[in-house]
Structure 1
């Protein structure tokens, strides 16, 4: 059996151009062991137009030239940067009625959503599960959907919520009454908890390397700040991506938000966008009072996680802004002393790529995050790694969030190699390499962040820092309004 690797036209400027068309033996390693305010809406339409131009080109174009014939060197050290890797197409090797593209996501404190696709339109939306392999003591029935995008018709997309489940426990489950058995582990009830965070994942050989490195060490929840499949209107690539990540997304909850590559707008015919993303990757937005799958929040093990939408309305009159105000106001920092935010387009960025694309959202929402004492903000979009100090309004501020760009999962466009010089004093570490991050929250007051570079067969820990929660900081324990009131009383 073979998987196919080939060059795909990009919908954004290429930092590298992918390798030429190639057939790759389908080995276990390839198989991985087996919208907006006005400025943003204009930006969305521009990206969409490029996506539309790319749609017929994929069918005609089978050869690409290499932009870089030699490995690339970093600006700031002599570590070798490899060009963009070949695209991996992961085929379906089970029967029409068997589940494929299985992935799970958190729903509230005690439940899990199981999502999968079948080619058989008559397959049942049912999940059997239990705490012993091959023995299913519980059963849940869910819902299903499907969608059409031009001449593409999706399979039957199943979504079943199971539970209540015990924290820190392993469950075995089977989808649709047939096919293979899967298993997952629920997150712990309290700290410590470990999040894996990586954006702009794609489905290339670098993606395979990233996922292999992630899987080499245990974690509890996978967070992805946008740009999942890089399908860009090529709907079969959504199927390929689902099969590629299934060995990982079926055993740990994957919580995602959208990026620009999920938009897939076609004027008049598909004007709203996100059709494939919303159908395939439903998140628990209703549970947090959101009205859109593009932004939501959830709580797990003492952490309040907010997933924001960079490509839907975010100005002060928008539904997302109003929802965020309410969500932040209702956080109990005794119950969830840690608050982290994920979004796609970074608010702070010293890379030459995508300069200023998150600025209008920063101006609209940054004050809300600062007043709520959000601890960390993670973004993708820029295909490199960068860690900033705590910031508010373009200045170092010990009570502001720590900002991290982590858009280095393995996308087909390659790395964003060029950083501005001289470096900003706000930027503490930056490097254009593929990799992933880990946030280990040890207790109510301290966490450790580490970034793991993909260095051939090894994941090298290239950056790390200890973090104190702002809720435990006496200097930041009061909001700006509270501090102002206290000063007035004096």
Structure 2
């Protein structure tokens, strides 16, 4: 199978809105209804017609280097041949077909039994030989906290209507099944059908959010992340991780690290040890861009979930500055916010040095928990806007990061507006490792 690479596309950006500007940054006054979004019913996404038809198809990168793909699907019956993926080189006549055999499992949760969950890994995929990893362009979409509402539907189809996206990085909170009685597992099935028009054709990579924990002692469900880990496989072993909740992948010229806000991360824990070792492996001459995904934001000027990521920030932020991480994407807060390049790594309890300061070696922190979930918009920003906050808006939407080359990338955030997405925030980014210079929106 040949992995095609989309050509670089440049676009003129029209930018218009209403803002309140302070010395800190911009707080958009765009008004979005704050009531919870209306949930789409289970009947909106029925099982596909036909005998033992595969459904909930999704693909994700299947190794660290990008030469494998995990194909996942669900079937009601576990019959002979239902666990096989057949594939071939795109330019061939099909005579060189190959098969990949899936692992198959199912799980029980309270009074629900899943269908048969198949995960097949296709290996030794071919790169485009004309492309050097270090110089590859790449267009990545980001969103989080999607759920299954009519607002979620608008976010997904706004994204799909733009042909630029080549992959999706999803920063946690998928189905919101646990917002329903007994963590209604049928919502995991309907979610898989909902996102299939995108997830079956472009690789999605996930970070786990709090809604993936699915811990419910009242119904004797005490295995955290059970539905998520059964349904969504990731290539964690390829990066020597001991858990699918933290792992890394390389995609074109980008090194992507996924962390877990809801697993232990202090000193001597597996996640802490893994990250310390993983950062040493990043070769900036090969993968010049370094991006991190984590569900709970470290810098958040919204009263919702305020400072929930603080202990993780204190643990890992010095490493991010030392290794010149370019961007950290988070979800959890149901609004949008982009920070300036700042750090707060000089905290000392005796002299009170605990204020974020400008730091050109630090990441930009982006909260993208605005997918459209059932709980509605987080419309309670702190006032005044803190100095580290560059732009914030209480709206639903998604983001696009266009990696142009080893030194420059263009980032845009697309607000949901009626039947289209409108660019409401944008900035040209400079690679921290090569160009630790000030950037302008």
Structure-2 residue corresponding to 1:115: 72
Structure-2 residue corresponding to 1:287: 238
Distance in 2 separating the partners of 1:187 and 1:200: 34
1:267 shift after superposition: 3.2
Q: Aligned runs of 1:307-456 on 2, under 5 Å?
A: 307-393=258-344, 394-456=356-418
SS in 2 for 1:464: strand
| Alignment: residue pair count | 388
- Structure 2: segments with no counterpart, 5+ residues: 1-17, 21-26, 345-355
1:163-199 deviations in Å (ceiling 9; x for gaps): 3223369xxxxxxxxxxxxxxxx99885210110001
1:394-438 deviations in Å (ceiling 9; x for gaps): 222111000000000110100000100011111010000000000
Runs of 4+ residues over 4 Å off in structure 1: 73-78, 132-136, 186-190
Question: Measured at CA, do residues 459 and 416 of structure 1 come closer, stay the same or move farther in structure 2, by a change above 3 Å?
Answer: same
Larger CA deviation: 160-169 vs 464-473: 160-169
Instruction: Assess if the C-alpha contact under 8 Å between 1:100 and 1:117 holds in 2.
Output: yes
Structure-1 residue corresponding to 2:137: 192
Instruction: Assess if the C-alpha contact under 8 Å between 1:96 and 1:118 holds in 2.
Output: no
SS in 2 for 1:264: coil
1:231-273 deviations in Å (ceiling 9; x for gaps): 1121100000000000100000000010000111133943331
Question: Measured at CA, do residues 146 and 156 of structure 1 come closer, stay the same or move farther in structure 2, by a change above 3 Å?
Answer: same
CA RMSD of aligned residues (A): 2.3
Whether 2:114 is the aligned partner of 1:154: answer: yes
SS in 1 for 2:411: strand
Structure-1 residue corresponding to 2:39: 87
Larger CA deviation: 390-399 vs 467-476: 467-476
Instruction: Assess if the C-alpha contact under 8 Å between 1:128 and 1:140 holds in 2.
Output: yes
Instruction: Assess if the C-alpha contact under 8 Å between 1:377 and 1:403 holds in 2.
Output: yes
Instruction: Assess if the C-alpha contact under 8 Å between 2:289 and 2:431 holds in 1.
Output: yes
Q: TM-score, normalised by structure 1?
A: 0.76
- Tell me which of the two structures has the higher relative contact order, counting C-alpha pairs closer than 8 angstroms and 6 or more residues apart: 2
Structure-1 residue corresponding to 2:350: none
SS in 2 for 1:80: coil
Instruction: Assess if the C-alpha contact under 8 Å between 1:142 and 1:160 holds in 2.
Output: yes
1:278-305 deviations in Å (ceiling 9; x for gaps): 0000111000110101110000101100
Instruction: Assess if the C-alpha contact under 8 Å between 2:144 and 2:331 holds in 1.
Output: yes
Match of 1:99 among 46, 54, 65: 54
SS in 2 for 1:214: helix
1:78 shift after superposition: 4.8
SS in 2 for 1:471: coil
Structure-1 residue corresponding to 2:166: 220
Q: TM-score, normalised by structure 2?
A: 0.84
Distance in 2 separating the partners of 1:146 and 1:312: 24
Match of 1:207 among 152, 159, 180: 152
Distance in 1 separating the partners of 2:285 and 2:132: 19
Match of 2:211 among 243, 251, 261: 261
Question: Measured at CA, do residues 74 and 414 of structure 1 come closer, stay the same or move farther in structure 2, by a change above 3 Å?
Answer: farther
Whether 2:87 is the aligned partner of 1:129: answer: yes
Structure-2 residue corresponding to 1:252: 202
Distance in 2 separating the partners of 1:261 and 1:92: 24
Distance in 1 separating the partners of 2:57 and 2:133: 22
Whether 2:179 is the aligned partner of 1:229: answer: no
Question: Measured at CA, do residues 119 and 168 of structure 1 come closer, stay the same or move farther in structure 2, by a change above 3 Å?
Answer: farther
SS in 1 for 2:177: coil
1:197-247 deviations in Å (ceiling 9; x for gaps): 001011111111111111111211100110011111211000000000001
Distance in 1 separating the partners of 2:99 and 2:250: 25
1:327-354 deviations in Å (ceiling 9; x for gaps): 0011111111100000100000001100
